[in-house]
Every structure is written in structure tokens, then in C-alpha cells.
Amino acid sequence: METILSSATREVRIGGDNPFCIIGERINPTGRKIFQEQLRRGDLSRLEIDVNEQVAGGAMMLDVNMGAPLADEAQLMVQAVELIQSLCDLPLCLDSSIIEVLEAGLATYQGKALVNSVTAEDERLAAILPLVKRHGAAVIALPNDEEEIPEEPERRLELARKIVDVATGTYGIALEDIVFDPLAMPVGADTSLVLRTLETIALLRAELGVNMTLGASNVSFGMPERATIGAAFLPMAIASGLTSAIMDARSAQLVRAVKAADLLTNRDPWGAGWIAAHRERLAAEASLAAQASQAARADATAP
């Protein structure tokens, strides 16, 4: 099963035999006080830096969240979508808990977007799924409801089935346009939680055959050496059935772990992508070394 997202000029396929989809997480003011203040002033200049860094790092999609406190989030989402689509051709994941913000972003977006997100709560299903259907988008679905964020994978599957039934049966949304988040929980809170996430991924793949994504940084929250934890977790999750992740595309350690997992799970035939990336990295390192050497010679000969 493939989930197909697009910008005006570019298509990305999640799942099937396609490489793991890296969704850049950086365009988000959470935990970024300076960025929050810039957004409150209507200053989106930081977006160009965030977009360029994530594209350079290997992002295949970008998550866009404009949820800065006391800011006009709907207007910021419209401006951000327009600006980002002028800067790059990557498909976007529009990320907000506010219906009006999602509506504004989807109305502005050129292409088929991914909406982040809906839960199994009846009120949220009734509010978000018609919006997804009307704009021909896809949606990230979280298997929790009004009562709980379930710990047991079987309960998460039960809620996932509810979302599928409502989305496909009531609103006519195709199963391939529902991307499940198996609920990644921080290992620092309970070292058994990640195993339950992996069990949920395997269960959703076996029972529903759906594509999945998650916030990769959630797993390492509160722990030291977070990139190392993420680089260990993502290949495990990919082997269990995870097909995309919202992650820090600027982290070479995380991106290389994903690309290595693609190679080892036969999503990089003959290792062509891995070898090409290695050669590009060597060429970049050689270029930097040559520039440094040239600068050193210039300094040595300067009067």
C-alpha cells in the first residue's frame, strides 16, 4: 500500500518498496523562544534557513506547525505555506490542532497535503475527516480517544480500526490516505514503552496493512545523547513496519541510520542510494579540505 502526497510539481510515495520517508520536523516553534517571538511579530524570515537546512539534510517532506502562543496561527499558516512552496518543491504536512488553521492551510496549499492529525475521539473525527476529504488530503491518525492513551498494543489496534471504519465508511477516505501514528512514548519515562510502540507498529502492519509515521524525537525525550537513541530506534521501527517519521533531517546520524535501514531492508536496490550518498559526502569533505588548504596558504603568504 502506498500513500501518495504531492506538491505542485513533486510526488512522494510512502510505503510499498519505496525508501523510508523523512519528514523534517524543524518548522515548529515548540521549544524555540526566539522563533516564537519572530512569529508573533509576523516575521517568517527564519523559515528560509529551516527549509534549506532540512532539504540539504535529506528531508523528503516538511512538517509545518505555526502554533506560537498569542500569534495569529491561521494567518501564519497561510503565509508559511506560500513561502515554503516558493522555496522548495517538497510536499508538506500541515500540523495543527485547530480546525480553522488546517482549513486555511489546506485552502492555500498546492498539491495533496498530509494533515497532522486526528484521534479516535468522536468530536475530532467529525471535525477533521470532512476537511481531509473535501481537500483531497491524507491524514495522520493517532489511536487514542477521550478516555485514554492506551498502553496496550491491542487497544491501540482497536481504536485504529474505529478510525478506519469511520474514515472509509462514513467519509469515503481511502485506506491508503490514513497514516497511523503508533504512539511513540519516551523511553525515559518507562523503558518498556518503546517495546510497546514496536509491537503496535507490527500489529498495525499485520492487521491493517497501513503506512505509519511518528515523532521520532519523542522516544528520546529527556534523555542524554538523543541522536544516538534515535539512530538505534528508527531501524528497529523500520524493520517492524514503520514507513515514515517526523524527525530532525539536519541530524546526519539519524538520516544515515534511516538510509542504512533502507539498504538492509532492500528499499535501496543494489545499494545505489547508499553508495551515491557516500561519494557525495567524500566529495564535499574533499572540497572543504581544499578550501581550508587554500585559505591557509593565502594566510601564510599574506604580508
Whether the pLDDT of residue 23 is over 90: the answer is: yes
Q: What is the pLDDT of residue 20?
A: 98
Three-state DSSP at 197 gives helix
What φ, ψ does residue 85 adopt, rounded to 5°? -70, -15
Q: Answer with the residue of higher pLDDT: 146 or 203.
A: 203
Annotated domain spans of the chain: 2-267, 268-303
What is the reported pLDDT for 290?
84
Helix ranges (H only) for the chain are 33-40, 46-57, 73-87, 99-108, 122-134, 153-164, 193-208, 216-219, 226-240, 252-264, 272-301
Helix (H, G, I), strand (E, B) or coil at 5: strand
Using CA atoms, how far residue 38 sits from 28, 29, 51, 85, 96, in Å, is 12, 10, 16, 20, 18
Looking at residues 201-229, what average pLDDT do you find? 96
Instruction: Compute CA distances 233 → 21, 29, 87, 237, 243, whole Å.
Output: 15, 25, 31, 6, 13
Does residue 169 surpass a pLDDT of 80? Answer: yes
pLDDT at 182: 97
pTM of structure: 0.94
Cα 89 to Cα 169: distance, rounded to the nearest angstrom: 33
Kindly report, residue by residue over 26-50, the tens digit of the pLDDT: 999 999 999 999 999 999 999 999 9
Judge whether residue 292 has pLDDT over 90: no
What's the rounded mean pLDDT across residues 293-302? Answer: 76
Percentage, residues of the chain above pLDDT 70: 99
How far is the C-alpha of 54 from the C-alpha of 88, rounded, in Å? Answer: 11
Angle, alpha carbons 102-108-114 (nearest 5°): 50
Q: Is 262 exposed, middle or buried (0-12, 13-18, 19+ CB in 10 A)?
A: buried
| Cα–Cα distance, 130 to 255 (Å, whole number) | 35
Model confidence band, residue 294 (pLDDT cutoffs 50, 70, 90) = confident
Query: Which cell goes with 83?
Result: 513561502
User: Per-residue pLDDT averaged across 212-221, rounded?
Assistant: 96
Residue range 177-211, pLDDT digits in tens: 999 999 999 999 999 999 999 999 999 999 999 99
Band of residue 112 on the pLDDT scale cut at 50, 70, 90: very high
pLDDT at 289 over 80: yes
pLDDT band at 102 (very low <50, low <70, confident <90, very high): very high
Model pLDDT, residue 288: 83
- Give yes or no for residue 285 having a pLDDT over 90: no
pLDDT recorded at residue 146: 87
Confidence of residue 144 (pLDDT cuts 50, 70, 90): very high
Report, at the CATH architecture level, how domain 2-267 is classified: Alpha-Beta Barrel (3.20)
Per-residue pLDDT of 238-283, as tens digits, reads 999 999 999 999 999 999 999 999 999 999 999 999 999 999 889 9
- Average pLDDT across the chain, whole number: 95
Angle of CA points 87, 90, 93, to nearest 5°? 110
| Mean pLDDT score, 125-152 | 95
SS3 211: strand
So what's the pLDDT on residue 164?
A: 98
Cell of 120: 479516535
Going by pLDDT thresholds of 50, 70 and 90, the confidence category of residue 175 is: very high
Q: Give the residue with greater pLDDT, 300 vs 67.
A: 67
The percentage of the chain sitting over the pLDDT mark of 90, rounded to a whole number, equals 90
The confidence score (pLDDT) of residue 284 equals: 85
Tell me what pLDDT residue 296 has.
Answer: 78
